[in-house]
Structure 1
Amino acid sequence: MNPQLDADLDRQQGSRSATAAVYLIATGAFALGMASYVTAGLIPMIQQAFDVQVAVAAQLVTAFTLAYGIGSPVFVAMLPAQRQRFGLLVALALFVIANVASALVDDFVSLMIWRAIAGVGAGVYLATGIAASAAVSAPELRGKAIALIMGGMASGTVLGVPVSLLLAERFGWQMALWLVAFLGFISWVGLVVKLPAIPAGPAIPFSRKLALLGDHKVLTILMVSLLAAVASLGMYTFMVPLMAAAEYGGVTNITPYLWVWGLGGVAGSFLVGPLVDRIKGPMLTFLILVTLSVSLFALPAAAAITPWLAKVPIAVWGAVGWALQVPQNNELIAARGHKGDGNLAVALNESALYLGSALGAAAGGFILLLQMPGWVLAVSAGAVSVIAALLQISRLIHGNVPVDPIVSREKNCA
């Protein structure tokens, strides 16, 4: 036998297993994207099924997002470094079970509890899934792996949600959750077979993991994500009242514009992957933030000319808004992965996105309450994005760039 040939075959087999695992994690992320946004579309059906008010039914979304944003970092922090694979599989199994239970319950309180449990499972799964994909991929392919997962989640939101809502309208609201559970189960079975062992980082106690919050690099990245979410996701909440205003065409059917935004997000999530591996993360994030600002500033001007022209900045806004989290998560893993809490950093980043979305929605609602012109919404969102870009400049100027020790060692050896 040729030892070199055996070693090459082992590497090829390991590479194929890692690639398959990343695609399976992305499949689970697709189910996550559906679960995160489909509940809002199911509210009228759930309201009727359980005979509750709309405001009460809407709290299902709150239960999921709060559990996702607040609960998942706590559980990720409690996960031992040597049990990352186990934690990912348990989180996905919990997510699947919670969606099955949500489809089977016959009282509203139980449904609320299971949606919260699904939120925890989703948050832990995405954080550990991103970290796992980075760990099993070659350093030069890590950006593409993360982009594939974020693209899967974006696709679940843009493509999966409409399909699941169509099924719900025909077969009942439970069918949407059955579809989510089925896709999650397919991903889980595949990962049980294909997910290789995940290299364990250093074992550190829970108390020391809190030191993550004292890392200036991490805090800067999280603050940029928070501000970007305020601008992008917050403005998404108010696309309907903006485009419905008479001065912007009085659009009555907002669906095509939501599709343009979502398809732009899918494209941006996938296309940013190769750029992550070519452009330094902080610079790529800065360029994305600048593009986001320009697209938001241009939105009311384009809509004032003709609503159809508004689709251009909307598509760009969706693309860069979703793409941003690929370099952000990559930077967090580079900064903290070797310290054993990269998955916790990613979980905190997801929490920052949900908190930013909530803050953006609240700020936009206040602007509408003051009866300000519609353009103030887009310009205010663009201004927040500018602030995020300025914060990112401080990282570039002061060289506040995390160094990936794996990449560094390879460069030194070369």
Structure 2
Amino acid sequence: MRLVYLLGLGAFALGLDAYVTAGLLPAVADDFDASVSATGQMVTAFTLAYAIASPIFATLLPPTRVRSGLLASLGVFALANVGSALATSLPVLLLTRAFAGVGAGLYLALAASAAASLVDADRRGRALAVIMGGMSSGTVLGVPLGVYIAEHTSWRMTLWLVTAIGALTLVGLAARLPALPASSSVTLRQRAQVVTDPRVASVVGVSLLAAIASLGLYTYFAPVMATKAMGSVDGITPYLWAWGIGGVVGSIAIGSLVDRARRPYTLVVAILGILVVALLVFPLAAAVTPLLALIPIAVWGAVGWALQVPQQSDLLAARGDRGGPVAVALNESALYLGSAIGSGLGGLAFALDWDGSVLPLYAAGFAFAALVLQVTAVKAAAKRGTPAPRVAEPTSTSTSS
């Protein structure tokens, strides 16, 4: 598991890099004498590159080169952050953020697959939880630290911190990561067929809808809490911490449950059900007193982050060596796409002068749609599918550069 924790450190750097830039926008805008809206495209460049490029490169990567791909993606991520920290103009910064998104997307997909292959099958859930725990910790713990560093030094120092963590992980993995097992008989066409796999499509669809609900609502946390119906909250820091700490606890604790669950399908159903209830209770609790809303917010964060561990486990079980990393990459793309769709719909709601307090209810509707998809399409696809191929176990004779 030590190597799995090292992979998790890389995921921590990804989580920090993906979300800290939102807190750096004003400083970057001042530095380049640009508008905040123009500077905000650095977030767009990262997320679009992450969502689009990761499944493409995961498909093109030969299955015998997983280790090389893992190291190369982390190297691209680190070098791109060096470029971002040294950027002398906004166009250069946007270009380097796009390359960082490419490296991050491919790394996370390959890291999940590698973590699963480095442990026994009965510890796969815990290994995947380490990766998601690193990602959530980077968001919850790393982002406040990164913003603090930016406020007391410069935004460039925050990106140097991301670079340092990424480089440290790269050196450690290059020195200690063994050859990863792979099936050399898997063709590019077979891996590309992951996109048409009904089971993969249904699982990814669930992730998309859940991301629209959870991450989309998170984007508008401040204006939602500022509405009269939610208590007219000015400072949302305690609520952000409740959501984030819940996310860290949920993403880590879910690993053991995945390993012990006889039917992971029902675990996802339970998670989505709890998410629906938490989002519905959120505005009701806030109407009583904003502090009471801390409870459903923490639950929302916990199950929102926890969901992706059984999702990744299901995708790896469904595809194994026949495109497991590609399936995980598609799932990660769905998360970012769902976040973008949720953010867009939330922005439209505010543009139409809707009261922000209704957004949790609409988010609950998307979460319920994910639940319906889980109990219908995912279940049906699993029944129709062939026995799931197991992720290859590490052996002394495996070869990968």
TM range (shorter): over 0.9
C-alpha RMSD over aligned residues: 1.6
- Uncovered stretches (5+) of structure 2, i.e. residues with no partner: 394-401
Question: Cα gap change, 1:74/1:300 in structure 2, threshold over 3 Å: closer, same or farther?
Answer: same
Partner of 2:93: 111
Superposed CA deviations along residues 134-189 of structure 1, whole A, max 9, x for unmatched, are: 11111001100000110001000000011111111111110000000111111111
CA contact (8 A) 1:136 1:196 kept: no
Question: Cα gap change, 1:396/1:203 in structure 2, threshold over 3 Å: closer, same or farther?
Answer: closer
1:30-69 equivalences under 5 Å are 30-69=12-51
Counterparts of 1:130 and 1:96, CA distance in 2:
19
Runs of 4+ in 1 over 3 A off after TM superposition: 202-205, 395-399, 401-409
1:128 shift after superposition: 0.4
Counterparts of 2:244 and 2:77, CA distance in 1:
24
259, 269, 283: which one aligns with 1:286:
269
Counterparts of 2:278 and 2:377, CA distance in 1:
23
CA contact (8 A) 1:263 1:315 kept: yes
Q: Secondary structure at the match of 1:309?
A: helix
CA contact (8 A) 1:20 1:194 kept: no
1:127-206 equivalences under 5 Å are 127-206=109-188
Equivalent pairs: percent with the same residue? 50
Partner of 1:327: 310
345, 348, 352: which one aligns with 2:327:
345
Counterparts of 2:248 and 2:3, CA distance in 1:
20
Counterparts of 1:311 and 1:300, CA distance in 2:
11
TM-score by length of 1: 0.91
335, 339, 343: which one aligns with 1:361:
343
Counterparts of 1:216 and 1:404, CA distance in 2:
13
1:93-104 equivalences under 5 Å are 93-104=75-86
Structure possessing the higher relative contact order (Cα contacts under 8 Å, 6 or more residues apart): 2
Partner of 1:24: 6
Superposed CA deviations along residues 250-272 of structure 1, whole A, max 9, x for unmatched, are: 10001111111011000000000
1:407 shift after superposition: 8.8
Does residue 283 of structure 2 align to residue 300 of structure 1?
Answer: yes
TM-score by length of 2: 0.94
Counterparts of 1:396 and 1:60, CA distance in 2:
35
CA contact (8 A) 1:268 1:320 kept: yes
Counterpart residue identity of residue 321, structure 2:
H
CA contact (8 A) 1:282 1:395 kept: no
Question: Cα gap change, 1:75/1:398 in structure 2, threshold over 3 Å: closer, same or farther?
Answer: closer
The 10-residue stretch of structure 1 (316-325 or 95-104) with the greater mean CA deviation from structure 2: 95-104
Counterparts of 2:185 and 2:143, CA distance in 1:
39
1:61 shift after superposition: 0.3
Number of equivalent positions: 390
CA contact (8 A) 2:13 2:135 kept: yes
Question: Cα gap change, 1:83/1:381 in structure 2, threshold over 3 Å: closer, same or farther?
Answer: same
Superposed CA deviations along residues 57-88 of structure 1, whole A, max 9, x for unmatched, are: 00000000000010111111110000000100
Partner of 1:267: 249
Does residue 234 of structure 2 align to residue 252 of structure 1?
Answer: yes
Counterparts of 2:391 and 2:142, CA distance in 1:
36
Partner of 1:371: 353
Counterparts of 1:287 and 1:221, CA distance in 2:
15
1:399 shift after superposition: 7.0
CA contact (8 A) 2:213 2:364 kept: yes
Counterparts of 2:89 and 2:243, CA distance in 1:
35
Counterparts of 1:123 and 1:250, CA distance in 2:
37
Counterpart residue identity of residue 114, structure 1:
T
CA contact (8 A) 1:29 1:153 kept: yes
Q: Secondary structure at the match of 2:365?
A: helix
1:375 shift after superposition: 3.1
Counterparts of 1:156 and 1:209, CA distance in 2:
31
Superposed CA deviations along residues 305-332 of structure 1, whole A, max 9, x for unmatched, are: 0000000000000000000000000100
Task: Flag the structure with larger Rg.
Answer: 1
The 10-residue stretch of structure 1 (103-112 or 36-45) with the greater mean CA deviation from structure 2: 103-112
Partner of 1:207: 189
CA contact (8 A) 2:81 2:96 kept: yes
364, 369, 375: which one aligns with 1:393:
375
